[in-house]
Structure 1
Amino acid sequence: MIETVATKPFDDQKPGTSGLRKKVAHFSQPHYAENFLQSIFDVAERGPGATLVIGGDGRYFNRPVIEKAIRMAAANGFGRVVVGQNGLLSTPAASHLIRQRKAAGGIVLSASHNPGGPDGDFGIKYNIGNGGPAPEAITEATFKRSRTLQEYKISDAPAPDLSVVGETTIEAMVVEVVDPVADYAELMQTLFDFGKIRALIAGGFTLSFDAMHAVTGPYAKTILEGLLGAPEGTVVNGVPLEDFGGGHPDPNAVHAAELIARMMGPDAPDFGAASDGDGDRNLIVGRGIVVSPSDSLAMLAADIQRAPGYTQGITGIARSMPTSQAADRVAAKRGVKLYETPTGWKFFGNLLDAGMVTICGEESAGTGSDHVREKDGLWAVLLWLNILADRKESVKAVVEGHWQEFGRTYYQRHDYEEIDSKAAEGLMGSLRDRLASMSGQRFGTLVVSEADDFSYKDPIDGSISTGQGVRILFSGGARIVFRLSGTGTKGATLRVYIERFEPDAAKHDIAPQEALSELIDTADVIGEITKRTGRSAPDVIT
């Protein structure tokens, strides 16, 4: 029977860059998750008897919310729900399923790279029918609806056993539990030369993949150890756990320190990689070298035609504004357009749908292509392996060869986490107030050539996004970018992006901290970071 439950609106259900994220305790409030789900169902477009995909990264609180989402979908007129076995679906696998099944959309339950467990974070994101994150028009409508919601609908029938693959029914809706890995693994085999990668591994090439006790464990085990023949134990931390084993599932130098130490050691494998909580981010490490996400995007774009699914090359490249301009130089040399968008994968969707770009990337370790409408961690790993197998070179040789051809872009992101929200807003407000007078100012040897608050007009639908981050550009092409992240759940996260291009190959061995030292000092002066936040150093440097 369908029940109509009286509720009261919450005033804090505004989705951020990647859906609604809060602490588990906050999401556990009575009606909180139900209200947000009902708000999505009320505003998202769908036809009668539509299909909905549901899955998540396995973090704490996923199972009860998935069960509620299934029962609410039945009460709201969906004809079919496709859900991953045990509630698991990586974000790129969910995107693929939405597209493959021609679903109206999908509910993705994840807080991505944020910590899990009872004291950790939780999130709900809605993806539309193209498989990508809901655009701002839908997230704004969802928030508006959440402010007025007075009731939600839910079936009183129990949710099905999610551990059993197969079909059951709730009300008039079919619930189909599917193997979360199978369709995704099949897609990967259409894009990459698995035979060539298998031969590389059989020939003695060694690798290590850290799944960080997150959702990609089963995917990596099936693909790397199963289909590609890597030895058992290649995938470490491969069992998804509700608290990610007490770790922080963010594939960067701080939280993947174990992998990086392994790759810098005397007996290092040839190739190392990691992915995050929901499987959409990646870290690439070679023996003795860490590949920055911005560089990885540029290097994959430069060599993507080596993979069978991309033999025609690229139609264009898209990157988020804070991502380094290394990819711009590849686009220029390949004679294709480079699109600079705000942060958030949803901004790539229209470009991908229109066939204007083939590969996209963000400096926050996200890379993907037109095969889905999300960033895809394992896809990036497999493309790297395909390139290495084809070039028959080490990661370090590929990186250095790229720098030789395109120049090196020195780049760092400095994160100041959980700072006082008012202090963070004050810092950004002060920067914006000073933009008009900043051009021509000198800071040491650096002279400001331009300063602005980045805005974006979508070339497909004409929508405009403003206030996307303060850019300080210097003569010679160096730049500093300041923005507040939309992925945290406590206080504010200030992100400062620092970048300088070096065309001279003789200067490519300088340590990034040294190469960027003047810009780092200047960022503190211009942003008044220490003065306004009390922080003398960032919490994380990537």
Structure 2
Amino acid sequence: MIRTVQTTPYKDQKPGTSGLRKKVPVFQQTNYAENFIQSIFNSLEGFRGETLVIGGDGRYYNREVIQIAIKMAAANGFGRVLVGRGGILSTPAASNVIRKYKAFGGIVLSASHNPGGPTEDFGIKYNIGNGGPAPEKVTDAIYAGTRTIETYKIAEVADINLDTEGSQNVAGMEVVVIDPVTDYAELMEKLFDFPAIRNLIGGGFRIVFDAMSAVTGPYAKEILENRLGAAKGSVLNFIPLPDFGGHHPDPNLVHARALYEEMMGDDAPDFGAASDGDGDRNLIIGKGIFITPSDSLAMLAANASLAPGYSKGLAGIARSMPTSAAADRVAEKLGIGIYETPTGWKFFGNLMDAGLVTICGEESAGTGSNHVREKDGLWAVLLWLNILAVRMESVQDIARQHWTTYGRNYYSRHDYEEVDADAANGLVTALRDQLATLPGKTFGKLKVATADDFSYNDPIDKSVSNNQGIRILFEGGSRVVFRLSGTGTSGATLRVYIERYEPDASRHDTETQAALADLIAVADEIAGIKTRTGRTEPTVIT
């Protein structure tokens, strides 16, 4: 039986860069999740009888919302739902399933790298038929719908069994529970030289991968240990837990500190990596060296042709505006296009669909390629392993040779989390008011060349995205960028990105924060960070 339920709008359901994210108790409000899901369906056309993919990262409240979404999909006219066993689908795996089975779209339940649990974070986002996050015209329509919604449709049926693979019927709609790992693992085998990686590992090459009690665990266990022969126990924390074991599943040097310390030890493995809550981010650490996400993007692009899936070369590279310009130098040498977009993976989708770029990346630990339309943490790990297997050099040697060839972009991101929203917005407003007067000013040895609020003109659909981050560029290539993040669920997160280009190889051994010290001081002087936020230091430095 299909029931139409009367409801009233919530005014706080505006999607951010990766869908709608709130605390679990917010989503548990009467009709809160139902309103947003119905607003997704109301914004779409032509899906009757089509396939919808549903899955999530296994965090708290994942199963409950999956049951709601399935019943609502049936009530709204979808013909089939594909859902991962146990409600599990990593974000890149969900993108792959949408693409492989030519689904109309997908609902991904995740708050990415944010903590999980009864009082922690939850999220819902919609992915379109190319497998990528919905573009702004779709999310704008969804938001508009949430503000006027009066009813939603839902099938009054029992919950389905999410833990057994196979087909079930929900109010005339087929629901197929699929193995969440197999399709993704098969795709990875097509892209990478698994025999070469097996030979590397079989020769004594040691790896450690921290799945952070999150969704990548089953994928990494199957691929790294079962298919590539890494020693049992190489994949840590591989069982996805609703609260991620009480940890923060963000693969950075704060929340993955134990992995970093192991990789800096005297008896460190040869290669260390981690992924996040929903499997789309990565951390890469070699023996004795951390590879920043910006550098990782550049190094992967420079060596991608060593993997079978990229042997014909790259069409182009795309990076988010705050990401360092290291990849630009690779693109220049390869003679291919480089595209600078706002933060948010959805901006890469048009470029990939048009065949303009092959590899994309963001400084926030996301890298990926046109194999899916999401960033992909395990993909980055496997490409690194493929490169190491072919070059037979250490991570540290590859990094140093890269810097010698291209120069080094010293780079860091300072996050000030859960800042008072009014204070954060006041800081940004004051920065915008200074933009016209900053060029030509000097701060110590630094002279401002240009200053602007980044706008992006999409070369494919001609859409314009304004106010994407304040850039202050200094003579000589250094810069500071300020953004308010759209991935948090409370207060505001101020992100400050600091970058210095150093072409001289004899100066490539300076500690990063020391190399950036004068720029860090100038960023505070210009923006008044300490004064306006009351914070004396960042919450997280990456």
TM-score > 0.5 by shorter chain: yes
Pairwise mapping of residues 497-536 of structure 1 onto structure 2 (< 5 A)?
Answer: 497-536=497-536
Match of 1:69 in 2: 69
Is the CA contact (8 Å cut-off) linking 2:47 and 2:77 kept in structure 1?
no
Q: Deviations over 1:29-64 (max 9, x none)?
A: 010000000000111233320100000000000000
The Cα of 1:158 is off from its aligned counterpart by: 1.3
For 2:54 and 2:46, locate their aligned partners in 1 and report how far apart those are by CA, in whole Å: 15
1:315-354 maps to which residues of 2 (within 5 A)? Answer: 315-354=315-354
Q: Which residue does 2:152 correspond to in 1?
A: 152
Give me the whole-angstrom Cα distance separating, in 2, the residues matched to 1:197 and 1:393.
13
Structure 2 match to 1:479: 479
Q: Is the 8 A contact 2:481 2:498 kept in 1?
A: yes
1:296 matched residue in structure 2: 296
**CA distance in 2 between partners of 1:272 and 1:37 (Å):** 38
Q: Does 1:37 align with 2:42?
A: no
Once the two structures are TM-superposed, the CA of residue 101 in structure 1 deviates from its matched residue by 0.8
Report the residue type matching 1:144 in the other structure.
Answer: A
Q: Which residue is equivalent to 2:403?
A: 403
Work out whether residues 207 and 270 of structure 2, in 8 Å CA contact, stay in contact via their aligned partners in 1. yes
- The aligned counterpart of 2:173 is 173
Residues 9 and 35, structure 1, Cα contact 8 Å, conserved in 2: yes
Q: Per the alignment, in what secondary structure is the counterpart of residue 107 of structure 2?
A: strand
Q: Distance in 2 between matches of 1:313 and 1:247?
A: 39
Equivalent position of 2:467 in the other structure: 467
Report Cα offsets for 1:81-135 as digits up to 9, x if no partner. 0000000000000000000111110000000000000111000010000000000
3-state SS of paired residue (1:514): helix
* Partner Cα separation in structure 2 for residue 172 and residue 350 of structure 1: 35
Matched residue SS, 1:81: strand
Following superposition of structure 1 onto structure 2, how do residues 191-202 of structure 1 map, counting pairs within 5 Å? Answer: 191-202=191-202
The equivalent residue for 2:48 is: 48
| Alignment check: 8 A CA contact 1:45 1:104 kept | no
Deviations 1:450-503 (A, max 9, x none): 000000000000000000000000000100000000000010000000000000
* SS of corresponding position for 1:59: coil
**How far apart, in 2, do the equivalents of 1:327 and 1:252 lie?**
21
1:26 — aligned with what? 26
> Between the two proteins, what is the percent identity of the paired residues?
68
Structure 1 CA distance, aligned partners of 2:305 and 2:158? 49
Question: 1:119 is matched with which residue?
Answer: 119
Q: Distance in 1 between matches of 2:290 and 2:335?
A: 28
Aligned length: 542
- The one-letter code of the counterpart of 1:149 is I
- CA–CA distance in structure 2, aligned partners of residues 366 and 46 of structure 1: 32
Aligned match of 1:314: 314
CA displacement at 1:260 relative to structure 2: 0.5
Q: Which residue of 1 aligns with 2:129?
A: 129
CA distance in 1, matches of 2:310, 2:180: 25
| CA distance in structure 1 between the partners assigned to 2:73 and 2:339 by the alignment | 37
Give, as a single letter, the amino acid of the residue that structure 2 aligns with 1:187.
L
1:110 corresponds in structure 2 to 110
Residue 163 of structure 1 corresponds to 163
User: How far does residue 170 in structure 1 lie from its aligned partner after superposition?
Assistant: 0.7
What is the CA deviation profile of residues 240-287 of structure 1, one whole-angstrom value per residue up to 9, with x for unaligned ones? 000000000000000000110111111110000000000000000000
For the residues of structure 1 that align with 2:447 and 2:45, how far apart are their CA atoms? 50
1:141 positional shift: 0.3
Distance 2:167 2:533 in 1: 54
SS at match of 2:436: helix
- After superposition, where does 1:115-264 map in structure 2 within 5 Å? 115-264=115-264
Q: Distance in 2 between matches of 1:380 and 1:68?
A: 33
Aligned residues of 1:38 and 1:152 also touching (Cα < 8 A): yes
CA deviation map 1:501-524 (0-9, x unaligned): 000000000001111000000000
When normalised by structure 1's length, the TM-score is: 1.00
CA distance in structure 2 between the partners assigned to 1:290 and 1:475 by the alignment: 28
Q: Secondary structure at the match of 1:174?
A: strand
* Alignment partners' CA distance in 2, 1:527 and 1:302: 36
Structure 1 residue 418 displacement after superposition:
0.3
Contact 1:418 1:492 in 2 (8 A): yes
**Aligned-pair RMSD on alpha carbons?**
0.5
1:204-240 deviation per Cα after TM superposition (whole angstroms, max 9, x unaligned): 0000000000000000000000000111100001110
- Does 2:349 correspond to 1:365? no
Residues 271-290 of structure 1: pairs in structure 2 closer than 5 A: 271-290=271-290
Q: Is the 8 A contact 1:70 1:159 kept in 2?
A: no
1:392 paired with 2:405, answer: no
Tell me which amino acid in the other structure corresponds to 2:330: V
In 1: Cα distance, 2:450 partner to 2:487 partner: 28
Shift of 1:163: 0.2
Matched residue, 2:421: 421
Q: Distance in 1 between matches of 2:48 and 2:291?
A: 47
2:348 equivalent to 1:356: no
C-alpha distance in structure 1 between counterparts of 2:187 and 2:14, whole Å: 34
Q: Measure the CA separation in 2 of the matches of 1:193 and 1:515.
A: 38
> Counterpart of 2:331 in 1: which secondary structure?
helix
Unaligned runs of 5+ residues in structure 1 are: none
SS of 2:486's partner is coil
Match of 1:541 in 2: 541
Residues 274-310 of structure 1 show CA distances to partners (whole Å, capped at 9, x for unaligned) of 0000000000000010000000000000000000000
Letter in structure 1 aligned against 2:537? A
- Report if the CA contact (8 A) 2:23-2:120 is conserved: yes
Of 259-268 and 422-431, the range deviating more from structure 2: 259-268
Query: Could you tell me how far apart the structure 2 residues matched to 1:25 and 1:172 are?
Result: 32
SS of residue in 2 equivalent to 1:537: coil
Residue 268 of structure 1 pairs with residue 268 of structure 2: yes
In the alignment, the residues of structure 2 paired with residue 305 and residue 270 of structure 1 have an alpha-carbon distance, to the nearest angstrom, of 22
2:435 alignment partner, SS class: helix
Matches of 1:509 and 1:437 in 2, distance apart? 35
Q: SS state of the match for residue 168, structure 1?
A: strand
1:381 aligns with 2:389: no
Question: Counterpart of 1:441?
Answer: 441
Q: Secondary structure at the match of 2:437?
A: helix
Counterpart CA distance in 1 for 2:281 and 2:235 is 16
Letter in 1 for 2:251: P
- The residue type paired with residue 324 of structure 1 is S
- 1:48 and 1:147 map into 2 onto residues whose CA distance is 24
Runs of 4+ in structure 1 deviating by more than 6 angstroms, as ranges, are none
Match of 1:437, SS state, is: coil
- Partners of 1:280 and 1:377 within 8 A in 2: yes
The whole-number CA distance in structure 1 between the counterparts of 2:231 and 2:513 is 37
Secondary structure of the 1:436 match is coil
